Amino acid sequence: MDLDPAMASIAGFPPASSGPEDAPSALSLVGVSKTYGTGAARVPVLHDISLSVPAGDFLAIVGPSGSGKSTLLNLIGLLDRPDSGEIRLDGLSVGFQSRAEAARLRNRLIGFVFQSFQLLPRLTAWENVALPLLYRGAPRAERRGRALAALENLGLADRVDHRPSELSGGQCQRVALARALIGEPRLILADEPTGSLDTATGATVMDMLRDLNARRGTTIVMVTHDPDLAGRCASQIEIRDGRVQARRGAAA
Ligand X SMILES: Nc1ncnc2c1ncn2[C@@H]1O[C@H](COP(=O)(O)OP(=O)(O)OP(=O)(O)O)[C@@H](O)[C@H]1O
Residue ranges that bind ligand X, judged by CB under 6 A: 36-37, 43, 45, 63, 65-71, 115
First-residue to last-residue Cα distance in the chain: 43
What does 173 bind: Mg ion, ligand X, none (CB cut-off 5 to 8 Å by kind)?
none
Nearer to Mg ion, 115 or 218 (CB): 115
What does 71 bind: Mg ion, ligand X, none (CB cut-off 5 to 8 Å by kind)?
ligand X
What does 66 bind: Mg ion, ligand X, none (CB cut-off 5 to 8 Å by kind)?
ligand X
Helical axes 125-136 vs 140-153, angle rounded to 10°? 130
Nearest approach, Cβ of 74 to Mg ion (angstroms)?
9
Instruction: Verify binding: residue 224, Mg ion, rule CB under 5 A.
Output: no
Binding mask of the shown chain, residues 156 to 195, with x at each position contacting Mg ion by CB under 5 A: ----------------------------------------
Show the beta-strand stretches assigned E in 37-109. Answer: 43-53, 58-62, 84-89, 92-94
Nearer to Mg ion, 93 or 116 (CB): 116
Spatial neighbors of 133 by CB under 8 A, at least 6 apart, are 142, 143, 146, 147, 182, 183
Instruction: Verify binding: residue 74, Mg ion, rule CB under 5 A.
Output: no
Instruction: Verify binding: residue 70, Mg ion, rule CB under 5 A.
Output: yes
Spatial neighbors of 28 by CB under 8 A, at least 6 apart, are 51, 52, 53, 86, 87, 88
Strands 84-89 and 235-240, by their bridges, are unpaired
Nearest approach, Cβ of 75 to Mg ion (angstroms)?
13
Nearest approach, Cβ of 208 to ligand X (angstroms)?
22
Binding mask of the shown chain, residues 76 to 115, with x at each position contacting Mg ion by CB under 5 A: ---------------------------------------x
Instruction: Verify binding: residue 218, Mg ion, rule CB under 5 A.
Output: no
List, in sequence order, the alpha helices (H) in the chain: 5-8, 69-76, 99-109, 125-136, 140-153, 169-182, 199-216, 227-231
Distance CA 95, CA 86 (A): 7
